[in-house]
Structure 1
Amino acid sequence: MSKILFVMTGADHWTLADGTKHQTGFWAEEAVTPYETFRAGGHEIVVATPGGVVPTVDQASLAPEANGGQQGADRVAAALASFAEIQHPVRLEDVSLDDYDAVFYPGGHGPMEDLAVSPASGRLLVAALDSGKPLGVVCHGPAALLAAERGDGSNAFAGYRVAAFTNAEETQAGLADRAKWLLQTRLEEAGVDVRAAEPWAPHVVVDRNLVTGQNPASSAPLAAELLKKLG
């Protein structure tokens, strides 16, 4: 049995360009689908957040329209209710990578607010990348990669191929013109090789020990790839 660290946002809002606080958090599908996959494989899950705060679910991610209808929404809500570890997170600042076999970052707009500028998360990501341990990041989770800087100021993920929530998807979601910055653009500016696929279609990119997914639909295939890497 492996021990997998879920690094989740502690933010309940995303500050837009005009200062408005857009209510958000983590995206339910991107947390519960990998959680169910890993637990079914017999693995242990530990949740970490900045400051150890209990993460907030983005209420929009529980809506029927985000889950293919009411039946899907009910399934995701039930799965989230059974995700007991989410109610008892450890402090991200206290985490040691040595205690874990793999690391996973779900998305939601929350990481754009806190993980993108978190030194603790940045250090963990650099360590995970260099360790060769499986590292999975999905949707807006790759915002955290922006804080993963080496001593010379370069981004540790520069030159890596990744999937992440695209500018086209942010535009279609209606928030691109209100955002301070766009994830795909910032990653590319940091030297990360973003491989964009069709909006909303499942898309997973594997580069060495890094497994990334573009959007909520990518969380299931990403979890399957991480399981392969765990053996």
Structure 2
Amino acid sequence: MAKILFVLSGSDHWTLADGTRHPTGFWAEEAVAPFEVFSAAGHDVVVATPGGVTPTVDAASLAPEVNGGPDGLAAITAGLERFTALRAPIDLADVDLADYAAVFYPGGHAPMEDLAVNAASGALLTAALDSGKPLGVVCHGPAALLAAERPDGTSPFAGYRLTAFTNTEETQAGFADRAGWLLQDRLIALGADFREGTPWSPNVVVDRNLHTGQNPSSAAPLATELVKTLN
């Protein structure tokens, strides 16, 4: 079947407005749930990070209360074990888009730190969008869209309907007043048509080949939409 590229942050922290470093990484559900959906459909997943560093899982995403209880956490933990590509990432700079049928960006706060300003990631996102291949981005993953730019300085994602972790959710998570910037604000500023759904509920927005999900609970439904597109 197809090969799908997962692009994850290489950062283990997020710098807050006051300069302190908040420990973070990728959100477990946002990587594991899509991996399971793609694997069940017979697709292979390859992981890339800036510099090829092993991505860090956000410890907060491994709490029972954010996984529906102990059983949900056990399922996510087992999924992390099965997702062996997480422990052998390739360097993002070495990615050839032609090798992949689709591209997927999980979230967690870490993309706010590195992918939001990573030129290689921005170029890949632009190429993926222009190629017509399915492009999936979830939660804080859309921070990476901020690094994508046309030669004239405009965003390739201007005018696209999309969603991401909202200001309301960031406020409820306790970070809005500590963050240097808010993702929803930045995406609107670049010209995106931001579609905000109910906080913490699944919300998937599809516009042409761009597929976005609002929050962790949107990760599996987003992957399901991508599989439908691939099929």
TM-score range, shorter chain: over 0.9
Q: How far 1:70 sits from its partner (Å)?
A: 1.1
Deviation of the 1:111 alpha carbon = 0.3
1:86 is paired with a residue of what secondary structure? helix
Compute the displacement of 1:193 (Å). 1.1
Aligned to 2:97: 97
**1:65-99 residue CA offsets vs partner (Å, 9 max, x unmatched):** 11011111111011111110110000001111011
Aligned residue in 1 for 2:164: 164
How far, CA to CA, are the matches of 1:96 and 1:123 in structure 2?
11
Deviating runs (4+, > 6 A) in structure 1? none
Q: Which residue number corresponds to residue 136 of structure 1?
A: 136
The correspondence of residues 43-192 of structure 1 with structure 2, limited to 5 A, is: 43-192=43-192
**Pair 1:42 & 2:42 matched:** yes
| Cα offset, 1:18, TM superposition | 0.3
1:205 aligns with: 205
Shift of 1:20: 0.6
Partners in 1 of 2:4 and 2:195 — Cα distance? 26
Distance 2:10 2:81 in 1: 18
For residue 128 of structure 1, report the CA deviation from its aligned partner.
0.2
Partner SS for 2:202: coil
The whole-number CA distance in structure 2 between the counterparts of 1:118 and 1:65 is 33
Structure 1 range deviating more: 65-74 or 168-177: 65-74
Q: Give a deviation string over 1:153-196, Cα, whole Å, max 9, x none.
A: 10110000001000000000000000000000000011111100
Unaligned runs of 5+ in 2: none
* Cα RMSD, aligned residues only: 0.5
Deviation readout 1:120-142 (Å, 9 max, x if unpaired): 00000000000000000000000
Amino acid at match of 1:168: T
Aligned length: 231
1:60 corresponds to which letter in structure 2?
A
**What amino acid maps onto 1:136 in structure 2?**
G
Q: Distance in 1 between matches of 2:53 and 2:146?
A: 22
TM-score, scaled to structure 1:
0.99
Taking the aligned partners of 2:81 and 2:42, their CA distance within structure 1 comes to 19
Q: Supply the distance in 2 between the matched residues of 1:76 and 1:55 (Cα, whole angstroms).
A: 16
Partner of 2:29: 29
Aligned AA for 1:92? Answer: L
Q: In the alignment, which residue of structure 2 is the partner of 1:216?
A: 216
5+ residue gaps in structure 1? none
Distance 1:10 1:138 in 2: 17
Whole-Å separation in 1 of the counterparts to 2:92 and 2:167: 29
* Partner AA of 2:104 in structure 1: F
What amino acid is the match of 2:35?
A: Y
Q: Distance in 2 between matches of 1:42 and 1:78?
A: 19
CA distance in 1, matches of 2:132, 2:222: 17
